[in-house]
Amino acid sequence: MSDMTTTEHLHLDPDRLFPADPRTRDIARELFSEVANLAILSPHGHVPAEWIADDEPFADPTSLLLSPDHYVTRLLHASGVDLAQLGVGGTAADPREAWRIFCARWGLFTGTASAGWLEHVFSHVFAVSEVPSAATADIIYDRISRSLATPEFRPRALFERFRIEALATTDDPLDDLDAHRRISADPTFRGRVLPTFRPDKYIDPEAPGFANAVARLADQHGIAVDDYRGYITALEERRAHFVARGAVSADHGVADAYTTVLDADDAAALFRRAVRGKLSPAEAREFRGHMLVEMARMSVADGLVMTLHPGVQRNHSSVTFRDFGPDSGHDIPVRVEFTRGLRPLLERHGLERDFHLVLFTIDETAYSREIAPLAGFYPSVFIGAPWWFLDAPDAIGRFRAAVTETAGFSRGSGFIDDTRAFLSIPARHDVARRSEAAFLARYVAEGRISLARAREIIVDLVDRQPREVFKL
């Protein structure tokens, strides 16, 4: 692993991510200026609502910016660093030592999405002017630490400084959503913080903790643990609770996009065996596929936007999972299929008024082949913004090129930052807006669309689209 020996000033090019060709770059700059300062809409992400509700100061640079960021810790791990040295998964690590390791290996991140986001955070949020390195690690650590101790760096202050208008969290169906209640009840804070219903472990018999989750649900609702109709009603009631607390969407992280419609008796029979852990993998898939259609049915009824995130093999390394828990950097994508898998769901609900189904993928091959064609026909289907490993400038460009010629610009979800790295939210939206400007600028430069039309579109993508698709 080569360490970066050059000592350079941390400098963010004001024209970064714009195409090199001078005329195209001028157009991109102009388009970006239309949206650079628009409020941030973040309809799907993982920031804890408690941060905003409690408004406590962040503890230190490492626990805020390093330990929980699996984009960063995974690449350090690949280079030979023990995750325990980085405080991953709650392991006890010396924060300053962890930070030194990170800065000494900063060169690993050159060219990655994370480097761009972190440079933006360092430079724009903390006014750090040093490029991270072994030599500058302590300087940067101390600068950030001092900032975090000031009121200007408390969560709510940053929320406002970042011009966030709405921020969705991701929540367990049994969460009482008290943090959300406190935030919306507080007249001194104007930002919207919306819960999101995330029922994976309540509807997927193969999800870790399924039996326990269903048992708690049954317990809370006073029903027998294997009462399928009671279970369905309980899920509906939990969704109603989320709607009452301001939720606009329900999110589904599933192994694949397989759906199926079972009759209620068959579903009930599977459910009774599922809560006892008796389903074969094929039966579990049937039940999960059925429950996705049930979730769609409930979305039609209660209006929650349904977002689908399929196709990841979670916790690829069992040893790492045992030692550091989930989200520790070894979730690996797999191929995914939508056309056949979603057909039963779409046959039943695809033409419903006001049903919104947003499809995300880490398998880029699905963009032009399946997702754009589906969203180009079904009024309910929207093309999710590039997700996870694909949430980076080149990948955003490939995404846009893959879907636009089939589905135009109108069928997308708007940008989704999908992050728990609260401080990087402006950086991520900045990268997305610049990437959209770069793409549109090329179409203008190639005479495919007018500059006037491109101006309209970029505002649409950044502002109107997330509002409409997520019913904000």
Binders of its own copies in range 392-451 (CB under 8 A): 392-395, 398, 401, 404-411, 442-443, 445-450
In this structure, what are the phi and psi dihedrals at residue 348, rounded to the nearest 5 degrees?
-85, -40
Q: How near is the Cβ of 395 to its own copies at its closest, in Å?
A: 6
Question: Please, which residues have CB within 8 angstroms of residue 403's CB and are 6 or more apart in sequence?
Answer: 367, 368, 371, 372, 375, 383, 411, 412
Collapsing DSSP states into helix, strand and coil, what is residue 111? coil
Q: How near is the Cβ of 229 to its own copies at its closest, in Å?
A: 28
Is the Cβ of residue 13 or residue 265 nearer to its own copies in the bound state?
Answer: 13
Q: Is 46:170 a contact under the CB 8 Å cutoff?
A: yes
Q: Which of 267, 375, 385, 432 forms a contact with its own copies (CB under 8 A)? A: 375
Q: Is 333:387 a contact under the CB 8 Å cutoff?
A: no
Q: Which of 59, 90, 111, 146 forms a contact with its own copies (CB under 8 A)? A: 111
Is the Cβ of residue 147 or residue 406 nearer to its own copies in the bound state?
Answer: 406
Q: How near is the Cβ of 400 to its own copies at its closest, in Å?
A: 9
Q: How near is the Cβ of 168 to its own copies at its closest, in Å?
A: 23
Q: Which of 35, 98, 113, 167 forms a contact with its own copies (CB under 8 A)? A: 113
Is the Cβ of residue 158 or residue 372 nearer to its own copies in the bound state?
Answer: 372
**CA of residue 442 relative to chain centroid, distance:** 27
Q: Which 15-54 residues touch its own copies, going by CB under 8 A?
A: 15-21, 23-24
- Residue 365 interacts with its own copies (CB under 8 A): yes or no: yes
- Residue 5 interacts with its own copies (CB under 8 A): yes or no: yes
Question: Please, which residues have CB within 8 angstroms of residue 363's CB and are 6 or more apart in sequence?
Answer: 311, 333, 334, 335, 336
Write each residue from 316 to 335 as x if it is in contact with its own copies (CB under 8 A), else as -, in one continuous string.
xxxxx--------xxxxxxx
Can you spell out the DSSP letters for 379-442? TTEEEPPP-GGG-SHHHHHHHHHHHHHHHTTTTB-------S-GGGHHHHHHHHHHHHHHHHHH
- Residue 6 interacts with its own copies (CB under 8 A): yes or no: yes
Closest CA to 127 of 115, 136, 119, 135: 119
Closest CA to 62 of 103, 99, 26, 28: 99
Q: Which of 226, 227, 236, 364 forms a contact with its own copies (CB under 8 A)? A: 364
Q: Which 271-310 residues touch its own copies, going by CB under 8 A?
A: none
Q: How near is the Cβ of 236 to its own copies at its closest, in Å?
A: 26
Is the Cβ of residue 96 or residue 467 nearer to its own copies in the bound state?
Answer: 467
**Alpha helices, DSSP H only, in 222-263?**
228-244
